[in-house]
Structure 1
C-alpha cells in the first residue's frame, strides 16, 4: 500500500510540475509578446500604414500609366504589361519599406533584388533603352498617332507608339518600325504639329522673260485659290539668279489637310499659265566654246645621225 501511495504522489507531483512549466511558459510568452508590442507596436502600426498608403499610390500610378498609354494609342497587350510592371515594382518598394519600418532586416532582400535587377538590365540593355525612350515620347509627345513625320529619311503617318518601337506607315503603304531610342536621339520633323503650314514654291523662268509679269501671274493664281490663307500678305519674289534661270520663291499658307492638294493643283495651274503667257521654264544649259587649234609649226628633225657616220 505504501508503495502505491508513493507512486501516486510522484505522478501527481510530475503533473503539477508539468502544469507549472506550461503556465510559466505561457506567462513568459505573454510577457515577451507584451514587451514586443510595447517596444515595436508603434513601428508595426507605421508599417501597416505605409503598406496601405503605398497600395493606394501603386494603384494610382498604374491607372495613370494606363491613361497615358491609352491616349497614345498603345496596344492593349502593351498597356496591360506596362501597367502591371509599374504596379508590382511600386509594391515591391512599398513592401520593403514596410518591413524595414517594422524592424525586419531587409538587407538580404535588397541584395537579391539588386543582383536580379543587374542581371536583367545587362540582358535587356537595348530593350530597356527603347522602353525608357518610349516613356519619354509619351511624356513629351513630339507626335501622336495619325501625325505625318519624317525620321531618318523615313516619312509617313504614325500608326502607333509601341513598347519598344514606333510604327510608321509610308506613302506607299509600307509599315516601318523604328526603335524608340533612335527617335529620341535623332531629328524628328512633325508636319502635323501646327494647324497651318507654309508651302515653299520655287519657280524658274528664263532670263529673257519679264520677272514682273511672271510674279503677277503667280499672284493671280494664288489669289484665285480660296484655300490659301495669306493672300493679302503673301511673300513672293526673286530668290536667286541661277546658272540658267531666274528663281522666284513664294510661301502661301494653308491648313495642314490642304497641303498636298494645294501643292499639286498649284503646280499644274502654273505650268498651264506659264505656257499660255509665253513664260519659259528653262532646263539646265551649258555653253561650250571650242577653240581652234594653233597653226602647225615646222617639223623638227627627230632622227639623229649615227655617231659612227
Structure 2
C-alpha cells in the first residue's frame, strides 16, 4: 500500500514539474512576442526605411559601377583597372549604404566605425610596404606608362611586360626569364618604354681608322641604309662624325624603323656594314695601348 502511495505521489510531483515547465515556456514565448510586438510598434517604420535604403542603395551602387565601367571603357583603360576600380566603387558605396541602413534601424554604428578604424590602422601598419605596392599598381593601371606587351627598361631590367598585377609587374627578358618587380620601385624609378611610339630610332656607332677616308665610309654607310627598305628615313638620314676617339674616327647614324623591325634591322645592318667595309678596305680598328718597358741600369 505504501509503495502505491509513493508511486502516486512521485507521478503527481512529476506532473506538477512538467506543468510548471510548460507554463514557464508559454510565459517566455508570450513575453518574447510582446517584446517583438513592442519593437515593431516602436521601430517598425525605421526598419522598413532601413530595408528601403538598403534596396535602393544597391541599385545606386550598381548604377555608379556600370557608369564607371562605361566611362573607363570609352577612355580605353585596361580591363584589369576597369574591373578593379568598378568593384571598389561598388563596395565602397555599399558600405555606406549598410551603415546608413543600420543607423536608420536604430542599431548604433559608432562602435562599428571605431572597430573598422582600428582594424584599418592595424592592417595599414602591418602591410605598409604592400599597400605602397598596391597604390603604385593602381597608378600604373590608371596613368598607363606602359601596358602588357610593351618593351620597357626599369631598374636595370629590360624586357616585355607580361602582366601588371596589384603588387608587382611581371617582365619577361630576352632570355625568357620572368622577373617580378614591385610596383613601388617602378613608380619611383625612370621607366623607358620602347613600344610607346610607333617608330624607333636605332643608334649606330661605327669606328674607322684614322688612315681611312671618312667621306668614303659615310657614303658606303648611306648606300647600305638606302638598300634596306625597312628604314623609313633613308633619304634624310642623320649621319656624320660623332667624335675623334683615341684609336678611331667614330661615325654616328640614326635610322628610323618600325618598332617591330628594330632588332632585325639592327642585326642585318651590322652584318652588311662589316661586309661592305671589308670589301672596300675600310678598317675597323682594334683598341690599342702603347706600353714602354724601361730596363734597369739603362
TM-score, structure 2 normalization: 0.74
Shift of 1:121: 1.3
* 1:86 CA displacement: 5.2
Contact 1:46 1:102 in 2 (8 A): no
CA distance in 2, matches of 1:87, 1:185: 30
Verify: 1:187 aligned to 2:190, yes or no.
Answer: yes
| 1:96-245 aligned within 5 A | 96-99=99-102, 105-245=108-248
Aligned to 2:278: 275
CA distance in 2, matches of 1:56, 1:252: 52
1:62–1:84 contact (8 Å) kept in structure 2:
no
Alpha carbons of structure 1 residues 201 and 271: separation in structure 2 relative to 1, 3 Å: same
Q: How many residues align?
A: 263
- Is 1:286 the counterpart of 2:292 in the alignment? no
What residue in structure 1 maps to residue 57 of structure 2? 51
| CA root-mean-square deviation | 3.9
Unaligned runs of 5+ in 1: 1-24, 296-309
Matched residue, 1:7: none
Give CA-to-partner distance per residue, 1:40-82, whole Å, 9 cap, x none.
Answer: 89x87995687356433564378579979x96465xxx99888
Match of 2:92 among 85, 89, 93: 89
8 Å CA contact 2:77, 2:142 repeated in 1: no
CA contact (8 A) 1:238 1:248 kept: yes
> How far has the Cα of 1:140 moved from its partner?
0.6
- Rounded Cα–Cα distance in structure 2 between residues aligned with 1:194 and 1:64: 27
Report if the CA contact (8 A) 1:66-1:83 is conserved. no
Deviations 1:130-165 (A, max 9, x none): 111111111011111111111111111111111211
* TM-score, normalised by the number of residues in structure 1: 0.72
Q: Secondary structure of the residue that 1:232 maps to in structure 2? A: coil
Tell me, what secondary structure is at the counterpart of 1:233? coil
Is the 8 Å Cα contact of residues 47 and 99 (structure 1) preserved in structure 2?
Answer: no
What's 1:302 paired with? none
SS of 2:283's equivalent in the other structure is coil
Contact 2:65-2:89 within 8 A present in 1 as well: no
Give the Cα separation in 2 of the matches to 1:65 and 1:111. Answer: 35
Greater shift in the superposed pair: 104-113 or 44-53: 44-53
Please, which runs of 5 or more residues in structure 2 have no aligned partner? 1-33
Equivalent residue of 1:285, what SS? Answer: coil
For 2:136 and 2:231, locate their aligned partners in 1 and report how far apart those are by CA, in whole Å.
38
Secondary structure, counterpart of 1:209 in structure 2: coil
What is the DSSP-based 3-state SS (H/G/I as helix, E as strand, rest coil) of the residue aligned with 1:133? helix
